[in-house]
Amino acid sequence: MLEPVLDWIDAVCRWLNQTYAWQPHQVLPPCWQQHEQLAYEIAAFAFTRIDTTTDPGTAIIWHEQYDRFVHRLNNTLGKAGDDCRVGRHEPRPARFALSAWPPENRAGGPT
């Protein structure tokens, strides 16, 4: 079920890279699927592009949002972004592991 969505997001990434990525920090990395937050960001940004086909005024807004999208992309990737962009993806560094968090309280939310 997810395969068609992932294929679509991959096509969006390739289109954004070919059309808008004129600077290294604008390139969506080929390992975007391994960054869950990026997958959500890319999908949300791509859906807003559809709006530009129905309301001409939204095209300029979409282009303005592109800068914010790139900022969030780079904020998410951090220093690892340079390696990811050239195909050297590393999993989340151990120092950022979330295992230090206590287990979630399933009964009624946060304790």
pLDDT computed for residue 19 by the predictor: 96
pLDDT computed for residue 55 by the predictor: 84
Between CA 110 and CA 90 the distance in angstroms is 31
**How many domains in the chain?**
1
Q: Which among 46, 39, 38, 37 is positioned nearest to 16, based on CA atoms?
A: 46
In a domain, 94, yes or no: no
- Note the pTM of the prediction, 2 decimals: 0.78
Between CA 24 and CA 17 the distance in angstroms is 10
pLDDT by residue for the chain (111 residues), tens only, comes to 578 889 999 999 999 999 999 999 999 999 999 988 899 999 999 999 888 888 878 889 999 999 999 999 999 988 888 889 999 987 766 556 666 777 777 665 555
pLDDT computed for residue 49 by the predictor: 87
pLDDT computed for residue 17 by the predictor: 97
Q: Give the domain extent around 72.
A: 2-19+29-89
In a domain, 79, yes or no: yes
Between CA 39 and CA 42 the distance in angstroms is 5
In a domain, 24, yes or no: no
In a domain, 96, yes or no: no
